[in-house]
């Protein structure tokens, strides 16, 4: 009897999580998928008619927003990585007794709601802000130039809001590295640069992979930054889905766009893990063997 109980323990432990996923992911996903295959209007009512044309028609209508969303998310992810890796490296290896304070500074923006943080950037990037005045003074912006309602503003907002999701996984990977491996590389006459490229970076790749995914995925579906920091010319696919659901009341098209977005993000993630994730796995296995 005790053997049977031991075998059932993993299933009992998985039970709450599985119930949560079924109730709040699988069931809503089913209803959204059914809605994506309906036809009609809110006035006449929606009818399930296996309307697969909703997918092709919605993509044809909003292909520009799809491309823009992935470009903005990709650029924001790269910029966040370039900022986050040196920051995480400095905290992990140079932070000393200030590590906790520095990590607190990284997550401090989360103490304010996402919406308020984004609205604050409308003031930071407004036409009469100090930043715009400085950029005009150094010639990076013309006299009539502006930052607000531009792709730069939207990408800046994405980087700012999702930067902690990049910093924390990279810091976690760097913190796990045994510094004796780096010292051993230097004892074998490797320079600091070579030791970084051959030891530190490969061993921190799991954090890089996790950070880029945690940044890119929500950034691709975001609509708050484009709404407050951009204009109609910078609208992302999330803005169109939000508008179709809440303003135009075109639920089948909105549901179809949501499914296309999920499928596109999933495809990008699979390809990324296929190439970058393999290196991360090799680095993690190397660390365990060492």
Question: pLDDT at position 127, please?
Answer: 85
pLDDT of residue 284 exceeding 80: no
Question: pLDDT at position 288, please?
Answer: 46
* 99-107 and 151-176 helices, crossing angle to 10°: 150
- Give pTM, 2 decimals: 0.87
CATH number of domain containing 74: 1.10.3720.10
- 189 in any annotated domain: yes
Look at the chain and count its residues. Answer: 290
**Phi and psi dihedrals of 47, rounded to 5?**
-130, 135
Number of domain units in the chain: 1
Question: pLDDT at position 188, please?
Answer: 85
What the block records as the tokens of 158 is 């994405």
- 188 in any annotated domain: yes
- 33 in any annotated domain: no
pLDDT of residue 31 exceeding 70: yes
Give the Cα separation of 165 and 77 in Å (integer): 10
Question: pLDDT at position 229, please?
Answer: 93
Q: What is the DSSP letter of 48?
A: E
Question: pLDDT at position 289, please?
Answer: 47
- 275 in any annotated domain: yes
Half-sphere exposure of residue 128: CA atoms within 13 angstroms, side-chain side:
0
Segment 202-226 shows an average pLDDT of 93
- 249 in any annotated domain: yes
- 128 in any annotated domain: yes
Domain hosting 195: range is 57-289
Give the Cα separation of 252 and 53 in Å (integer): 10
Per-residue pLDDT tens digits for 72-93: 999 999 999 999 999 999 999 9
Closest CA to 286 of 203, 204, 205, 179: 203
Neighbours of 23 (CB within 10 A): 10
Per-residue pLDDT tens digits for 174-206: 999 888 888 898 888 888 899 999 999 999 999
Per-residue pLDDT tens digits for 134-171: 888 887 776 667 888 899 999 999 999 999 999 999 99
Contacts of 192 (CB under 8 A, 6+ apart): 186
Give the Cα separation of 189 and 245 in Å (integer): 62
Give the Cα separation of 171 and 255 in Å (integer): 37
- 63 in any annotated domain: yes
> In DSSP terms, which residues pair with 45 in a beta bridge?
41
- 41 in any annotated domain: no
State the pLDDT confidence band at 272, using cuts at 50, 70 and 90.
Answer: confident
Question: pLDDT at position 290, please?
Answer: 46
């Amino acid at each position: 009897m005790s053997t049977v109980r031991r075998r059932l323990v993993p299933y009992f432990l998985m039970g709450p999580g599985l119930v949560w996923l079924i109730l709040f992911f699988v069931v809503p996903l089913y209803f959204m998928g059914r809605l994506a295959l309906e036809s009609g209007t809110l006035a006449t009512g929606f009818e399930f008619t296996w309307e697969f044309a909703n997918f092709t028609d919605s993509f044809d209508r909003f292909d520009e927003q799809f491309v823009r969303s992935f470009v903005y998310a990709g650029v924001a992810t790269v910029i966040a990585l370039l900022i986050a890796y040196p920051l995480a490296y400095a905290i992990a290896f140079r932070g000393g007794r200030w590590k906790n304070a520095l990590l607190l500074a990284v997550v401090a923006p989360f103490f304010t709601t996402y919406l308020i943080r984004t609205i604050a950037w409308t003031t930071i990037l407004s036409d009469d802000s100090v930043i715009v005045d400085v950029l005009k003074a150094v010639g990076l912006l013309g006299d009539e130039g502006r930052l607000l309602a531009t792709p730069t503003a939207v990408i800046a907002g994405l980087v700012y809001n999702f930067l902690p999701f990049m910093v924390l996984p990279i810091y976690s990977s760097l913190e796990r590295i045994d510094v004796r491996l780096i010292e051993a590389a230097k004892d074998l006459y490797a320079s600091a640069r070579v030791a970084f490229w051959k030891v530190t970076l490969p061993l921190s790749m799991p954090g890089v992979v996790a950070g880029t995914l945690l940044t890119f995925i929500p950034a691709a579906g975001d609509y708050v930054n484009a709404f407050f920091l951009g204009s109609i010319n910078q609208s992302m696919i999330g803005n169109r889905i939000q508008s179709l659901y809440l303003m135009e009341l075109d639920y089948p098209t909105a549901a179809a766009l949501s499914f296309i977005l999920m499928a596109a993000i999933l495809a990008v993630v699979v390809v990324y893990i296929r190439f970058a994730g393999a290196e991360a796995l090799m680095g993690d296995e190397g660390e365990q063997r060492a």
